[in-house]
A and B are shown apart, each in its own frame.
Chain A
Amino acid sequence: MGVTDAVDEAFRTEWGQVVATLIRVTGDWDLAEECASDAFASALATWPRDGVPRRPGAWLTTTARNRALDRLRRGAAESGRLRRLAPVLEDDSPPAEEDAVPDDRLRLMFTCCHPALPLEAQVALTLRTLAGLTTPEIARAFLVPEATMAQRLVRAKRKIRNARIPYRVPPAELLPERMAGVLGVLYLLFNEGYSTERRELATEAIRLARVLVSLLPSSEAGGLLALMLFQESRRATRTEHGDLVTLAEQDRTRWDRAMIDEGLAVLDEMFADPGPYQLQAAIAACHAMARHAEDTDWRRIADLYELVAELNPSPVVELNRAVAVAEVDGPAAGLALVDDLRAELPGYHLLAATRADLLRRLSRHQEAREAYEEALNQAPTDAERRFLARRLVELTTS
């Protein structure tokens, strides 16, 4: 591995930790980010000459901390603040000290995802401070002008400072609710990265979920990590030349086995009193474990959807359950359930598409055609419309 690769690798694995630690010791988010950037620039300049330090993370944190001290020294106006901070910053204790505070990234995660901040700011702040994406990169990922994204980050940091949002892992009584907030942000990030062009968001969501699970294991965090791994493992096969490929038609030999195994291992360790992410992960695991589409344990999937519906009753969950029931008890049984949902999901293209597929399997071709046409009119993306149009053509020519 070359030195530049080593810096890249350190950036991916250490950025969040360096920023999180600097925020804790300086209390200043902007200073923390600037000094972390400086430390990485300094690594690029000196590592080729001096070699990669034995503990890159500790080296970077110490360098960033020294830079913070320099900056504060230069800012005469901040002398009062310097006196207060100098003892922490000058404390040049051995790197082992960094290990004693493993939860700075957790503090940062919970603070970025504080419910007093707007959701879009939570997401942006998480990407900036924990994942190290630049403001232009985040702006591009969310299709907003750079100035808008910069403003969003400035406002969020201002609110954290002025409303005094605490920099901490919440106490036990707040933890379940706040954990749900963090998981929601990570899953949102992941879903934003579902499309090919923005894959880095999905990668970051998985990386951050791994950190969360390792620092503060909880069944739902593990469930979310497993769910994202299973979904991500299918990335290479989900589309072909921009066209959707259904789960049944995907080339399962090209699924990422390493991700599937990691997901199964995470999921294996839990499952007492499952929450929504664990249940969804368990459903995704049924697909991940089936070597061929015919091997899928649809009975278990139908049962799991029933548990999901008990936690979060929703017609969309019922629709998914109906698909599983159709596999177990036949298309007629599935169709009966789907038809019951029509009033609750008006205009929902996946309902029409599911009906169309079930009607086709029941050889009710005329009704199937009508349902495909309805789905075509409602589908929100080109890829989905092309998929439905293809099905409609197959039906007409069969």
Chain B
Amino acid sequence: MRYMLMITDDGAELASPAEIDAQPAFLSWLVDVEARGGRRAGTLLRPPDEAVTVRVRDGRVLRSDGPFAETKEWIAGVEVLECADLDDAIALAATHPEAGRFPIEIRPFWED
């Protein structure tokens, strides 16, 4: 079963992917992920001020700068994990190095 972990942040202390990859806490988290099922994808996202939102109205493409919703906390990265069940996904979200700072939302994949 796959779950997406949406990791939020407010951008005050944003680390780069290289910095995060070098964190011992993150490395040991990855070891735990592999032990429980495996990491299918994972990435950091550039902050929302670099976002572009596209809408199509009456066949016209409208572009606006910024995210579709202005929020204090935004999705800073995602992890796609293979887990036995929701309890495993919760355990991995709870031990993610960012978990102490901002909420992490877990979304199960839509599977048949």
Chain A residues within 8 Å of B, Cβ to Cβ: 114, 116, 162-166, 170, 174
Contacts and interface: CB of A to CB of B under 8 A. Distances in A.
Interface stretch (B18-26, B48-56, B68-76, B82-90): B82-90
List the 9 shortest-distance A-B pairs measured between CB atoms, nearest first: A166-B85, A163-B108, A164-B85, A164-B1, A163-B86, A165-B86, A166-B87, A164-B86, A162-B108
A125 to B, nearest CB: 16
Interface in B67-106: 84-87, 90
Interface size range of chain B in the complex:
under 10
21 contacts: A114-B86, A116-B86, A116-B90, A162-B108, A162-B110, A162-B111, A163-B86, A163-B108, A164-B1, A164-B85, A164-B86, A164-B108, A165-B85, A165-B86, A165-B87, A166-B84, A166-B85, A166-B86, A166-B87, A170-B87, A174-B87
A170 B87 CA distance: 9
A164 B86 CA distance: 6
Question: In the complex, which of the residues B87, B90, B108, B111 has the most CB atoms of chain A within 10 Å of its own CB atom?
Answer: B87
A114 B87 CA distance: 10
A369 B1 CA distance: 65
Given A164-B108, A166-B85, 19 more contacts: A114-B86, A116-B86, A116-B90, A162-B108, A162-B110, A162-B111, A163-B86, A163-B108, A164-B1, A164-B85, A164-B86, A165-B85, A165-B86, A165-B87, A166-B84, A166-B86, A166-B87, A170-B87, A174-B87
A114 B1 CA distance: 18
Contacts of A165: 85-87
Contacts of B1: 164
Contacts of B111: 162
A162 B3 CA distance: 11
B8 to A, nearest CB: 18
Interface in B1-37: 1
A107 B111 CA distance: 24
A38 B110 CA distance: 32
Contacts of B85: 164-166
Question: In the complex, which of the residues B1, B86, B90, B110 has the most CB atoms of chain A within 10 Å of its own CB atom?
Answer: B86
A132 to B, nearest CB: 26
Contacts of B108: 162-164
